Amino acid sequence: MTDPKPMTSDLFTADPSAHVFNGKLYVYPSHDRETDIQDNDNGDQYDMNDYHVFSMPSVSGPVTDHGVALTASDIPWVGKQLWAPDAASKNGKYYLYFPARDKEGVFRVGVAESDKPEGPFKPDPEPIKGSYSIDPASFVDDDGQAYLYFGGIWGGQLQCWRTGEFKKDAYETMEASGDEPALSPRVAKLSEDMHSFASEVQDVKILDPSTGKEIHASDHKRRFFEAAWLHKYNGKYYFSYSTGDTHLLAYAIGDSPLGPFTYQDKILEPVKGWTTHHSIVEFEGKWYLFYHDTSLSGKNHLRCVKIRELVYDAEGKIKLKEPQPKVDEE
């Protein structure tokens, strides 16, 4: 039960989105940096302002840092905070999706394009119309249709969009409460050129297997908080996410990329640090979980990416190949 070494210790990295492009692993993480901002529920301490892309020919490395792929100063609409990104490939091009606060402090999702998976990426001058909140995750299905998942409560502002319009006074509610379903992540189909939505934004419903109803707002160990990710295995769609204040990675399974998804189980127990955020990718016949913790720094806003192998049982349930040590055993 050994703890994996960080993917890199040269930079602080978090929120890793891993993909296989051209036979290589590429990782698109957040780039954490030092700040004097105190930890708070708004996430102000996560004050990132650029992205680096990493690649490796195998999970064991070596790891190449391709340098700055995109910086906040190059994006006209961005005010601050380049949070967790994702990437996709289609039509011979590569696309970087990223959330940031606009000049009014509202989180939106932008897109940037490159001819190479490592960038540099050229951003569109405006965010994707109809996008909001944080943590974009792109999935391109076998038929070529691409989707963008997004959303995060608390500092991610999803609670401000319950009516479909931004309501600033709803921010302090932080999330759904009372006798109602938890707030749902969102999904939209992407256009053929990957730069805009080709459908209306809709809820991603996560169902309780015992009732068939949506996960309840009070169920903090299973409800969605942030960090959407979608992958496909044996014809099924696996939607995974963070539970936020209970610090778990969980997943649900469905028959369509639009859901609904039925809750299955945890993937990862709490790690060192408050946040947990991940991706799941197949590479050379094996499946891997990319995630982060704070083992390098001991500070919530200075994280490092790590990798663990995943396996599936005969029923398609996910588990870690090696048991996860408890946080105090790492």
pLDDT per residue as tens digits for the range 103-154: 999 999 999 999 999 999 999 999 999 999 999 999 999 999 999 999 999 9
Digit-coded pLDDT (tens) for 232-255 = 999 999 999 999 999 999 999 999
Q: Which residues contact 328 (CB under 8 A, 6 or more apart)?
A: none
Assess whether pLDDT exceeds 70 at residue 1: no
Digit-coded pLDDT (tens) for 9-41 = 999 999 999 999 999 999 999 999 999 889 888
Digit-coded pLDDT (tens) for 176-224 = 887 899 999 999 999 999 999 999 999 999 999 999 999 999 999 999 9
The mean pLDDT of 72-76, rounded to a whole number, is 98
Q: Under CATH, what is the fold of the domain 13-320?
A: Tachylectin-2; Chain A (2.115.10)
The mean pLDDT of 315-319, rounded to a whole number, is 98
Structural tokens at position 319: 């588990």
Mean pLDDT computed over every residue of the chain = 96
Active site residue 226: yes
Digit-coded pLDDT (tens) for 43-57 = 999 989 999 999 999
In this predicted structure, what is the pLDDT of residue 37? 85
Nearest in space to 149 (alpha carbons), one of 79, 99, 101: 99
Assess whether pLDDT exceeds 50 at residue 329: no
Q: How far apart are CA 325 and CA 3, in angstroms?
A: 7
Active site residue 309: no
Percentage of the residues of the chain whose pLDDT score is greater than 70: 99
Catalytic residue, candidates 86, 175, 226, 293: 226
Catalytic residue, candidates 3, 15, 102, 115: 15
CB neighbours of residue 127 within 10 Å:
22
pTM, two decimals, is 0.97
CB neighbours of residue 82 within 10 Å:
23
In this predicted structure, what is the pLDDT of residue 328? 62
The 3-class secondary structure across the chain, one letter per residue, is CCCCCCCCCCCEEEEEEEEEECCEEEEEEEEECCCCCCCCCCCCCCCCCEEEEEEECCCCCCCEEEEEEEEHHHCCCEEECCCCCEEEEECCEEEEEEEEEECCCCEEEEEEEECCCCCCCEECCCCCCCCCCCCCEEEECCCCCEEEEECCCHHHCHHHHCCCCCCHHHHHHCCCCCCCECCCCEEEEECCCCCCECCCCEECCEECCCCCCECECCCCCCCCCEEEEEEEECCEEEEEEECHHHCCEEEEEECCCCCCEEEEEEEECCCCCCCCCCEEEEECCEEEEEEEECCCCCECCECEEEEEEEEECCCCCEEECCCCCCHHHC
In this predicted structure, what is the pLDDT of residue 325? 83
Structural tokens at position 170: 């709803």
> Where do the domains of the chain lie?
13-320
Assess whether pLDDT exceeds 80 at residue 327: no
In this predicted structure, what is the pLDDT of residue 330? 43
Q: Which residues contact 175 (CB under 8 A, 6 or more apart)?
A: 153, 154, 158, 159, 182, 183, 217, 225
